[in-house]
Every structure is written in structure tokens, then in C-alpha cells.
């Protein structure tokens, strides 16, 4: 019986102890090692994904991004704002409430301007702006949306 590899860890030692004398020892040890390796891989990728894709930039940075969007004269207010890291850059999603009479060309230009404003922040990579026209019930907590049924 081989007693060679002492560096495989306590879990494996336990399996060995239990399995001494059984011919099924090797496959069990193999399965345990495989599970440990897979488990470790999952842990590592979860940590990295958390860092790379899911984490949000600091509040101060988010506040600055929001401010830049809100400061545009065509934007009344924003809602459903989200900023998150994708790799080491920041992706931004936001709804912006605008006048209903805006043309498609104006809306396109506004989106470009919002994107440019935010991208002046070094780490901001891209902005996805969803424009909500007044009067369609998408505006949050405004007199317009509250009284539009009258
Ligand atoms: Zn919206």
C-alpha cells in the first residue's frame, strides 16, 4: 500500500483511514481529490467574478456619475441607476426622464452626450441610458404620472 504523498491534506488522510483494507480506496481518493480541486476552482472563480463583474464602485464615484447625468439640461431626473465594474472599468445603466416632445434625433444626441459626460471620468467605460418620456407613467413620484389618468 502506498503511504507516499503526505501533502494532500487532512480530508484525504481521513478517507485513507476509512478506506484502509478496501480495494475501492484508490477511486475514492481520486474522487475526493477531484472534488477538492473542483471546489477550490469554484471558490476562486466566484471570488474573481465578484471582483470583476458584480461589485459596485464607491458611493462617491456613483454620486459623481449620477450628477453628471442629472446636470444635463434635458434630463429632469433619473431612476433605476446602476454602476458596476466590468473588468477594471465601470459600466453604467440609468433611466433618464425627458420631455415627451423630444425627437428621435434629439434623443440619440442626448444619449451620446450623456455617454460622453460620464466617460470623462477615467474609469467609466460605457453608459446605457434608457429615456423615459413624460406622461407615459414611467416617471417616478411626479405630479404628472400621478394625475395623468384625470
Ligand atoms: Zn424608466
Q: Contact 93/80 with Cβ under 8 angstroms?
A: yes
pLDDT, tens digit (0-9, with 9 covering 90-100), for 103-140? 999 999 999 999 999 999 988 999 999 999 987 777 76
Q: Within this chain, do residues 71 and 88 fall inside the same structural domain, yes or no?
A: yes
- The per-residue pLDDT for 24 is 67
Query: Which residue in this structure is represented by grid cell 465594474?
Result: 85
92 Cα: distance to centroid of ligand 1 (angstroms): 14
Q: Within this chain, do residues 27 and 99 fall inside the same structural domain, yes or no?
A: no
Q: Within this chain, do residues 30 and 46 fall inside the same structural domain, yes or no?
A: yes
Q: Within this chain, do residues 63 and 50 fall inside the same structural domain, yes or no?
A: no
143 Cα: distance to centroid of ligand 1 (angstroms): 16
78 Cα: distance to centroid of ligand 1 (angstroms): 8
pLDDT, tens digit (0-9, with 9 covering 90-100), for 29-74? 777 778 888 778 777 776 666 555 568 899 999 999 999 999 999 9
Distance, in Å, from the CA atom of 91 to the CA atom of 82, rounded to the nearest integer, reads 8
Q: Residue 128, Cβ neighbours under 10 Å: how many?
A: 13
Q: Within this chain, do residues 103 and 34 fall inside the same structural domain, yes or no?
A: no
- The per-residue pLDDT for 19 is 64
What domain range is 106 assigned to?
A: 59-147
111 Cα: distance to centroid of ligand 1 (angstroms): 14
110 Cα: distance to centroid of ligand 1 (angstroms): 16
Q: Within this chain, do residues 63 and 49 fall inside the same structural domain, yes or no?
A: no
- Structure pTM? 0.58
pLDDT, tens digit (0-9, with 9 covering 90-100), for 1-16? 444 444 456 455 556 6
Q: Within this chain, do residues 44 and 117 fall inside the same structural domain, yes or no?
A: no
Q: Contact 106/92 with Cβ under 8 angstroms?
A: no
Copy the grid coordinates of residue 88. 477594471
Q: Within this chain, do residues 40 and 63 fall inside the same structural domain, yes or no?
A: no
**How many structural domains does the chain have?**
2
CATH code of the domain covering residue 75? 3.30.70.1350
Q: Contact 85/56 with Cβ under 8 angstroms?
A: yes
76 Cα: distance to centroid of ligand 1 (angstroms): 12
* Domain-embedded: residue 41: yes
Q: Within this chain, do residues 24 and 91 fall inside the same structural domain, yes or no?
A: no
Q: How far is CA 60 from CA 63, 67, 83, 106, 119, in A?
A: 5, 11, 12, 30, 16
Q: Contact 29/19 with Cβ under 8 angstroms?
A: yes
Amino acid at each position: 500500500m502506498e503511504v507516499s504523498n503526505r501533502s494532500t491534506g487532512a480530508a484525504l488522510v481521513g478517507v485513507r483511514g476509512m478506506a484502509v483494507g478496501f480495494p475501492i480506496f484508490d477511486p475514492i481518493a481520486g474522487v475526493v481529490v477531484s472534488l477538492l480541486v473542483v471546489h477550490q476552482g469554484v471558490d476562486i472563480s466566484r471570488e474573481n467574478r465578484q471582483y470583476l463583474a458584480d461589485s459596485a464602485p464607491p458611493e462617491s464615484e456613483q454620486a459623481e456619475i449620477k450628477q453628471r447625468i442629472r446636470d444635463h439640461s434635458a434630463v429632469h431626473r433619473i431612476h433605476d441607476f446602476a454602476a458596476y465594474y466590468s473588468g477594471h472599468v465601470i459600466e453604467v445603466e440609468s433611466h433618464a426622464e425627458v420631455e415627451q416632445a423630444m425627437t428621435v434625433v434629439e434623443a440619440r444626441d442626448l444619449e451620446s452626450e450623456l455617454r460622453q459626460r460620464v466617460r470623462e471620468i477615467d474609469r467609466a467605460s460605457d453608459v446605457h441610458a434608457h429615456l423615459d418620456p413624460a406622461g407615459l407613467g414611467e416617471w417616478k413620484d411626479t405630479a404628472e404620472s400621478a394625475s395623468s389618468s384625470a
